[in-house]
Amino acid sequence: MTTRWFGERVLRLEDERFLRGTGLYTDDVGESALEGCFVRSPYAHARITAIDASAAKAVPGVVAVYTAADLPFGKTDLPLLIPHPSLTHGRTQKCLAYEVVRYVGEAVAFVVAESRYVAEDAADQVLVEYEPLPVVITPETAERAEQLVHADVPGNLAAELRQESGDVEVELAKAPHNLRLRLRFERGGAHPLEARAVWARWHEREGKLTVYDSTQSPTSIRGGLAMLFGLAETSVEVIAPDVGGGFGPKIMLFYPDELLVPFAAMQLGRPVKWTEDRREHFTAVNQERGQVHEVRVGYDRDGRLLALDVDFIHDAGAYTPYGIILPIITAAQVPGPYRVPSYRVRFRALYTNATPTSPYRGAGRPHACFVMERTLDAIARDLGLERAEVRRRNLLQPGDFPHEVGVGWQDGGRVVYDSGNYPALLETTLKHLGPKPPGEHVGLGLAMYVEGTGVGPYEGAHVQVLVNGQVVASTGIPTQGQGHQTVFAQVVADELGVRPEQVAVTTGDTRRFQWGVGTFASRAAVTAGNAMAVAARNVALKARRIAAEHLEVDPEDLELADGMVRVKGAPDRGLPLAAVAILSNPLRYAFGGGAEIATPFQARPRPGPPLPEGEAPGLEATGYYSPPLGSTWAAGCHAAWVAIDPDTYRLRFLKYVVTHDCGRVINPLVLEGQIQGGVAQGIGGAFYERLAYDSDGQLRNASFMEFLMPYATEVPEVEIHHQETPSPLNPLGIKGAGEAGTIPVGAMVASAIEDALGVRITEMPLSPLKLFELSRARC
Amino acid sequence: MKPPPFEYHAPSTVAEALDLLATLEDAKVLAGGQSLIPLLNFRLASPAHLVDINGIAELDYIQERDGGVAIGAGARQSDVEEDKTVRRICPLLAQALGQVAHPVIRNRGTVCGSLAHADPAAELPAVLLAAGGEVVARSVRGERRIAAEDFFKGVFDSALRPDELLVEAWFPATPGPVALVEESRRHGDFALAGAVRSGDRLALFGVAPTPVLADPADPTRGLTPSGDLEATPAFRLHLVEVLVRKAFAS
Amino acid sequence: MIRVNGVERPGPTSVRLLLSDYVRHELGLTGTHVGCEHGVCGCCTVLLDGRPVRSCLMLAVQAGRHEVTTIEGLAGEGELHPIQRAFHECHALQCGFCTPGFVLAVAGLLAKHPHPSETEIDEGISGNLCRCTGYASIRRAVQRAAELTG
């Protein structure tokens, strides 16, 4: 096997349609669909006493108005993904609110009209009477439990989980040095530039439902819709077409619209679509990151960690549709790349009257990293040591793998790091960062992280060589800009001896591949990438088998290269793949690019039936990859020189260096894009973006004018270095990389600002105002 | 986020526009639309009538006049920014325009529209004030020239009456040292605080319901700025000190 | 009638239709994307008489006196425009949603500054949000486009 394309900076194959504006995003599907608009709760907590939709229904152009009472599934709780024994009080919302609303933006009614303009006019006419209830908005308030989000959930406590490895109390008591920290992280949001959208059509005569959905998991949506509507799964097709960024929150089962749009399309007999606008995205789409951590750490006089105790509360929002995966990940990832001999972690997931939470790029890790890195910086300060030196003394060594952390992982297994070289990450980064640039108020930021990536249970792929020699490949996972159509083509091209541009990859379309899980948790390359390799290898095996018969050689003597199946060492003896594709299907006629070459072989008589026993027609195969429990563990180090203007408290990155290890790299170009983009999101989350709720549960900055996503002027160029420590856990030796860039940025920025200004940073995000106040308090 | 229904009027002369403004109830003038259309899309404004002045050719001018520059209500910010006369006579205005939002917004936004919108955090009202300019308001009842000091009345509130059209802004020459320094969260955002210097005159913006003139030696005297998510009153006062120092440093 | 990509098209069916919705849904030119509808993200940027503007901050009916160019009209069916080529070569796009807006904003930038400085590049693309790339590759693409059109 050659690995010619794997590792190459192949320019992306999907670019042209995006550059020409001919991509297909869900709102582009069109086809004269009716358009939906939600009536959403303006209250964070209220009882609905009456809904009157009559005026709305009378607006010309309005086709239907649905409330909970109008839905056959109106009183059904939506599913709870990933149940967990510690989630003793899981709660999910109803498709449309029934009796009570628990966050601003919760869907109350759904208007369908001839256009979105008319639907919005009518939505203003739906009269809903609310009786406001007390609002619980921060995790600290939720913990005090003076008011309840759910009347039947005492203490607002959705879940509590304790884990311990070693005897932390004993070790803390014995430790020569102890520190306590309280570290707070506020809510943030992903805000892909394409908000969410769903389009559906019911084909009455075929009894078939077609749904376009900007989801990160079309296979799950399909299964859920089939169940809900009593249809065979084979009668439901869900397509995630081009998706304008995901970053986590586009995966749910379900957002209300994912049920209502297909439901309305079936009811009304016309295509229906709903395209979320930015204002509703601010409150209707899941958020993340609100946590408060109490940390106790014990260490020796050299700064070596002895025991770590982390007790944190997690702001779950109003419901737990996504279980408690976020705090589980935080709990698992606090120790990071360091040796923590005794580790205890407890979390409590608490309900608040805010939008529910689910993973957003980083998913529990930015806060975990913040906790560990802030702790190490505090130790360095306490002992008067260099921050890099404290890390050096605590890092796991290359010989320490596999390393068991002693806590549970999101896949239900244990956290076991498979491979890595953490000291090299640190030294490479510091070397490239270089000495401190001149200037006042310049600080060094430094942070390291690990990331469990590529969780199971599995993904699959189908690869087929068409009779014209074109290769098509498909997988169940969808894509939101990660370059899957290029990197998967590279993997397949290597196995089949073709060029990547000959491989057309389809993702996230259940018509092409119906099995799979989804694009999240930095898992696509690991799971679907390896599945692509397995499927393509199966195709290559079959190609050699068929060609061997016709060329009358041993399959072992054949290789796939340059679009041919040919005899090793005798490249003139062989068949084009197109011809093999024709031969794979024993028709009595032939068409396609290899027809002339294939015809003489086809005409030759052979013993047995035309299709040999056990053989299937077509040069195609399916492959699956299911990783072992425990994930592949990527890691990295970020460091920067950061200047703070002591007058305006603006932040400027003078130099930013990342060294990243995600095992073998399929395409460095694509990987660097993921890291640079991840860092930009991290910078946004560290210094510009926050979701500012007031005590009434109103989001005070629900627009792009006030939720400050960075422009080009706020983001530096990141210098990226690759380190490749192959994962022993999968055939390609790869680890995920999608979220990595974002994870350590908050911790790194905190470290830099502390160094530059001499103030203590214990919270995220920061802002000039926050730095002004911290500086004033210090004076 | 779609505009609510309204009646649309596209006069082609100022006279027609003034007639419309005199007769229509609840009409808004649509100039560049870079502030008004977001308000419509958010349905924070729902006027019964929109009077679109973009088709009035006679308003599209930039002229040297009375020792200053007169900017017609149709002139786009980017055209004014690039205009040689403006750069020569009123470099402050040209420099300030380079800091208004982003180039793509300035391609459509107008100078007069920004003044009429009277956003306290916007640059141009403060520039008019610092420079000592005036605006020309016309209605079927006649024409008024209103000095900058008298024009800005409050947050999004000006001396313009409902039947009046702001047809022109006049900026005097700014021969002395000029500067516009502002602090915003991101490049191009509305300012947390800003200072405009024209010679010895100083106007502040983002720190009061309107742009205000201030004493360069004691710029925060009498100021009681409001607080929001990104700046407390104390931080705004601090920024004023910093920005004024910068503005007068050269 | 409105002239879009060099072709006279029937005007909007409603005066309140935004230019962005008109080109997308009445003309089927869905390359113009809608990301915020309040003029911050820049996804909906089109050229109006050759200058980039936000199509979500204009009524379609206002475009009647102008020549509108959407991303579909930049290169037509032919070879990629040098700016599009540069974005491809520099991996300056990921999900592609902000891309048409960036490409047209850069068209405006290069028309004004054929050889832009780093500051001019930042200023020229400030006003367009990208949530995927982190902008570094977009800056490189602008430089590359300037070379290609050089």
Predicted confidence (pLDDT) per residue in A189-202, tens digit: 999 999 999 999 99
Q: Is the peptide bond before B4 cis (omega within 30 degrees of 0)?
A: no
Which pair of tokens denotes residue B165? 């059209």
- State the smallest CA–CA distance between residue A704 and chain C in angstroms: 6
Which pair of tokens denotes residue C104? 């047209």
Q: Taking the CA atoms of chain A, what radius of gyration do you get in angstroms?
A: 28
- CATH number of the domain that residue B15 is part of: 3.30.43.10
Is the pLDDT score of A779 beyond 80?
no
The answer to whether B103 contacts C128, with C-beta atoms less than 8 Å apart, is no
Mark whether A441 and A462 lie in a shared domain.
no
Mark whether A504 and A402 lie in a shared domain.
no
Q: What CA–CA distance (Å, rounded) separates B129 from B212?
A: 8
Q: In the 8-state DSSP scheme, what is residue A242?
A: B
Which pair of tokens denotes residue B97? 């325009």
Mark whether B45 and B101 lie in a shared domain.
no
Number of domains in chain B: 3
Q: What percent of chain C has pLDDT over 90?
A: 97
How many CA atoms lie within 13 Å of A53's alpha carbon, on the beta-carbon side?
19
Q: What is the mean predicted confidence (pLDDT) over B38-48?
A: 97
Mark whether B121 and B223 lie in a shared domain.
no
**CA torsion, ordered A170, A174, A176, A177, to nearest 10 deg:** 20
Q: Is residue A292 part of a domain?
A: no
Do the strands A719-722 and A651-661 form a parallel or antiparallel pair, or are they unpaired?
Answer: parallel
Mark whether A531 and A658 lie in a shared domain.
no
CB contact at 8 A, A560 and A495? yes
Q: Taking the CA atoms of chain C, what radius of gyration do you get in angstroms?
A: 15
Q: What CA–CA distance (Å, rounded) separates B49 from B9?
A: 7
SS3 A773: helix
Which pair of tokens denotes residue A313? 């509360």
- How many CB atoms neighbour CB A130 within 10 A? 17
Assign A604 a pLDDT band (cuts: 50, 70, 90): low
Q: Is residue A291 part of a domain?
A: no
SS3 A537: helix
Partners of C87 on chain A (C-beta within 8 Å) are: 15, 19
Mark whether B84 and B117 lie in a shared domain.
yes
Q: Which residue of B has its CA nearest to A713?
A: B187
Q: Which residues of A17-54 are buried (b: 16+ CB within 10 A; e: fewer)?
A: ebbbbebebbbbbeeebbbbbbbbbbbbbbebeebebe
Mark whether B12 and B99 lie in a shared domain.
no
Position A569, amino acid: G
Q: Is residue A1 part of a domain?
A: no
Q: Is residue B164 part of a domain?
A: yes
**CA torsion, ordered A11, A14, A20, A24, to nearest 10 deg:** -160
Which of C94, C106, C125, C148 is most worth mutating to test chain A (most A CB atoms within 10 A of its CB)? Answer: C94
Number of domains in chain A: 3
Mark whether B131 and B184 lie in a shared domain.
no
pTM for this structure?
0.97
Mark whether A447 and A463 lie in a shared domain.
no
Q: Which residues of A700-727 are buried (b: 16+ CB within 10 A; e: fewer)?
A: ebbbbebbbbbbbbbbbbbbbbbbebbb
Q: What is the mean predicted confidence (pLDDT) over C18-45?
A: 98
Assign A603 a pLDDT band (cuts: 50, 70, 90): low
H helical segments located in A30-115 = 54-57
Say how many residues make up chain B.
250
Mark whether A486 and A597 lie in a shared domain.
yes
- State the smallest CA–CA distance between residue A524 and chain B in angstroms: 34
Mark whether B16 and B107 lie in a shared domain.
no
Tell me which of B130, B155, B172 is where a domain ends: B172
What is the complex's ipTM, to 2 decimals?
A: 0.98
SS3 C25: helix
The answer to whether C38 contacts B52, with C-beta atoms less than 8 Å apart, is no
Q: What CA–CA distance (Å, rounded) separates B167 from B124?
A: 16
Q: Residue A517's Cα: distance from chain center in Å?
A: 12
Q: What is the mean predicted confidence (pLDDT) over B176-189?
A: 95
Domain interval for residue A566: 457-625
Which of C45, C51, C135 is most worth mutating to test chain B (most B CB atoms within 10 A of its CB)? Answer: C51
Q: What is the pLDDT of residue B13?
A: 98
Tell me which of A625, A650, A685 is where a domain ends: A625
Partners of C53 on chain B (C-beta within 8 Å) are: 104, 107-108
CB contact at 8 A, A351 and A316? yes
Is the pLDDT score of A165 beyond 70?
yes
pLDDT in tens, A226-259: 999 999 999 999 999 999 999 999 999 999 999 9
pLDDT in tens, B103-125: 999 999 999 999 999 999 999 99
Query: Domains in chain C, start-ordered, CATH in brackets?
Result: 2-75 (3.10.20.30), 82-149 (1.10.150.120)
Q: Is residue B1 part of a domain?
A: no
**Rounded mean pLDDT of chain A?**
96
Is the pLDDT score of A3 beyond 60?
no
Is the pLDDT score of B250 beyond 70?
no
- CATH number of the domain that residue A665 is part of: 3.30.365.10
Residue among B1, B8, B105 minimizing CB distance to C15: B8
SS3 A415: strand
Tell me which of A284, A304, A337 is where a domain ends: A284
- Which H or E run contains A351? strand A342-351
Q: What is the mean predicted confidence (pLDDT) over C4-19?
A: 97
- Which H or E run contains A321? none
Residue A724: which residues within 8 A CB-CB, separation 6 or more? A661, A663, A664, A665
Do the strands A208-213 and A236-239 form a parallel or antiparallel pair, or are they unpaired?
Answer: parallel
CB contact at 8 A, B152 and B192? no
pLDDT in tens, A100-159: 999 999 999 999 999 999 999 999 999 999 999 999 999 999 999 999 999 999 999 999
Is the pLDDT score of A757 beyond 50?
yes
Residue among B8, B105, B187 minimizing CB distance to C61: B8
Reading phi first (left if > 0) and then psi (alpha if -120 to 50, else beta), residue B156 is in left
Which pair of tokens denotes residue A615? 């053989």
Mark whether B28 and B87 lie in a shared domain.
no
Q: What CA–CA distance (Å, rounded) separates A500 from A16?
A: 15
H helical segments located in A584-667 = 595-603
**CA torsion, ordered A512, A517, A519, A520, to nearest 10 deg:** 180
Partners of C15 on chain B (C-beta within 8 Å) are: 6-8
How many CA atoms lie within 13 Å of A543's alpha carbon, on the beta-carbon side?
36
pLDDT in tens, A466-486: 999 999 999 999 999 999 999
Residue A707: which residues within 8 A CB-CB, separation 6 or more? A189, A191, A282, A689, A690, A691, A701
Q: What CA–CA distance (Å, rounded) separates A728 from A556?
A: 27
Q: Is residue A768 part of a domain?
A: yes
CB contact at 8 A, C5 and C68? yes
Q: What is the pLDDT of residue B175?
A: 85
The answer to whether C108 contacts B104, with C-beta atoms less than 8 Å apart, is yes
The answer to whether B8 contacts C109, with C-beta atoms less than 8 Å apart, is no
Q: Give Cα separations from A79 to A74, A255, A321, A383, C110 (angstroms).
A: 13, 10, 7, 50, 51
Q: Is residue A487 part of a domain?
A: yes
Q: Which of A424, A362, A367 is nearest to A395 (CA)?
A: A424
Say how many residues make up chain A.
779
H helical segments located in A239-386 = 256-268, 278-284, 325-333, 365-383
Look-up of token digits 């422009």 = A711
Residue among B42, B232, B242 minimizing CB distance to A769: B232
Mark whether B167 and B183 lie in a shared domain.
no
- How many CB atoms neighbour CB B82 within 10 A? 16
Assign A1 a pLDDT band (cuts: 50, 70, 90): very low
H helical segments located in chain C = 19-21, 71-75, 82-89, 99-112, 118-125, 136-149
Mark whether B135 and B215 lie in a shared domain.
no
pLDDT in tens, A668-719: 999 999 999 999 999 999 999 999 999 999 999 999 999 999 999 999 999 9
- Which H or E run contains B166? strand B165-172
- CATH number of the domain that residue B80 is part of: 3.30.465.10
Is the pLDDT score of C124 beyond 90?
yes
Mark whether A436 and A470 lie in a shared domain.
no
- State the smallest CA–CA distance between residue A286 and chain C in angstroms: 17
The answer to whether A713 contacts B232, with C-beta atoms less than 8 Å apart, is no
- How many CB atoms neighbour CB A581 within 10 A? 28
Mark whether B129 and B161 lie in a shared domain.
yes
SS3 C69: strand
pLDDT in tens, A409-436: 988 889 999 999 999 999 999 999 999 9
Q: Which residue of B has its CA nearest to C59?
A: B37
Q: In the 8-state DSSP scheme, what is residue A439?
A: S
Range 41-70 of C in CB contact (< 8 A) with A: 41, 43, 70
Which of C23, C33, C91, C95 is most worth mutating to test chain A (most A CB atoms within 10 A of its CB)? Answer: C95
Is the pLDDT score of A588 beyond 80?
no
Domain interval for residue B141: 60-172
The answer to whether C38 contacts A244, with C-beta atoms less than 8 Å apart, is no
Mark whether B100 and B74 lie in a shared domain.
yes
Tell me which of B52, B71, B87 is where a domain ends: B52
Q: Give Cα separations from C30 to A2, B17, C99 (angstroms).
A: 41, 35, 13
Q: In the 8-state DSSP scheme, what is residue A741?
A: G
Mark whether A437 and A525 lie in a shared domain.
no
Say how many residues make up chain C.
150
How many CA atoms lie within 13 Å of C44's alpha carbon, on the beta-carbon side?
24
Partners of B189 on chain A (C-beta within 8 Å) are: 705, 708
Tell me which of B150, B172, B194 is where a domain ends: B172
Which pair of tokens denotes residue B84? 């040689």
Q: What CA–CA distance (Å, rounded) separates C34 from C20?
A: 7
Q: What CA–CA distance (Å, rounded) separates A495 from A499?
A: 10
Mark whether A75 and A201 lie in a shared domain.
yes
- How many CB atoms neighbour CB A740 within 10 A? 31
Mark whether A49 and A120 lie in a shared domain.
yes
Mark whether A228 and A107 lie in a shared domain.
yes
**Rounded mean pLDDT of chain B?**
97
Bridge partners, A346 (sequence order): A162, A311
CB contact at 8 A, B238 and B232? no
Residue A36: which residues within 8 A CB-CB, separation 6 or more? A110, A111, A112, A113, A119, A257, A260, A261, A264, A272, A273, A274
Q: What is the pLDDT of residue A596?
A: 75
Q: What CA–CA distance (Å, rounded) separates B204 from B220?
A: 9
Assign A610 a pLDDT band (cuts: 50, 70, 90): confident
Mark whether A616 and A646 lie in a shared domain.
no
Mark whether A425 and A520 lie in a shared domain.
no
Tell me which of A610, A625, A640 is where a domain ends: A625
Mark whether B64 and B159 lie in a shared domain.
yes
Which pair of tokens denotes residue B139? 């209605």
